Amino acid sequence: MFALRRVKKLKGKLPPGQRAVKRILSRHIGSVPKFDPQKWSLMVDGEVEKPLSLKWNDLLSLPAVVSIADFHCVEGWSVLDNKWEGVAFKTIVEMVTPKEIVKYVLFTCDDGYTTSLPLAKLGDNDVLLAYKLNDKPLSAEHGAPLRLIVPQKYAYKSAMWLRRITFTSQRELGHWESRGYSDTADPWKSDRYSK
């Protein structure tokens, strides 16, 4: 395991309209799903050469990485220097080999929540499928067993309770994006709502 460091944060600065808080608040749209490690799986499919389904132990056997990254909620709060541990998203990309037509990735969660991002925005070293936060397993309220972490975006792009990753050629608006929130979700541009 090795530590990855963020490179885009301006030291000591918060994005516009954000205030620092001490812990990540729990925010979700429905009830917290139950996790059974014997039944859980992550499906990776769509326009890929090698679709796969990972059981919990399969996921844990992949190389683990650590990322120290800030976490910015669209509500205006940020938690600085979180220690996330999990699987680099790049590892999943290498395993499934997306077809040339792929431009986007759709993330679907246990509770039906969805979000999508351009594949090009998921190539940073700090983009993870995280199962630990600050050296402890993720709590159910914070997305356990697995959550996407995309530090350069508002937190609604960091989908909790992840169960499916679909590589596509077309952009699909997710839960909040289809309700008026920005699809680009850049906290450094205060890009909270679609224009």
What span, in angstroms and rounded, lies between the C-alpha atoms of 146 and 109?
10
User: For 113-155, what is each residue's pLDDT tens digit?
Assistant: 999 999 999 999 899 999 999 999 999 999 999 999 999 999 9
- Tell me the per-residue pLDDT of 72-84, one tens digit each, with 9 for 90 and over: 999 999 999 999 9
Residue 8 confidence (pLDDT) above 70: no
Q: How far apart are CA 82 and CA 73, in angstroms?
A: 14
Domain 37-187 has CATH 3.90.420.10: yes
As a whole number of angstroms, the distance between CA 168 and CA 193 comes to 24
Is residue 5 very low, low, confident or very high in pLDDT (cuts 50, 70, 90)? very low
Count CA atoms closer than 13 A to 117's CA, side-chain side: 25
- Residue 79 DSSP label: E
The tens digit of pLDDT for each residue in 44-64 reads 999 999 999 999 999 999 999
Angstrom distance (rounded) from CA 50 to CA 46: 9
Q: Is the confidence at residue 108, as pLDDT, over 50?
A: yes
| Domain extents in the chain | 37-187
| Residue 75: per-residue pLDDT | 92
pLDDT band at 7 (very low <50, low <70, confident <90, very high): very low
- The pLDDT mean for the chain works out to 91
Comparison of pLDDT for 27 and 129, the residue scoring more: 129
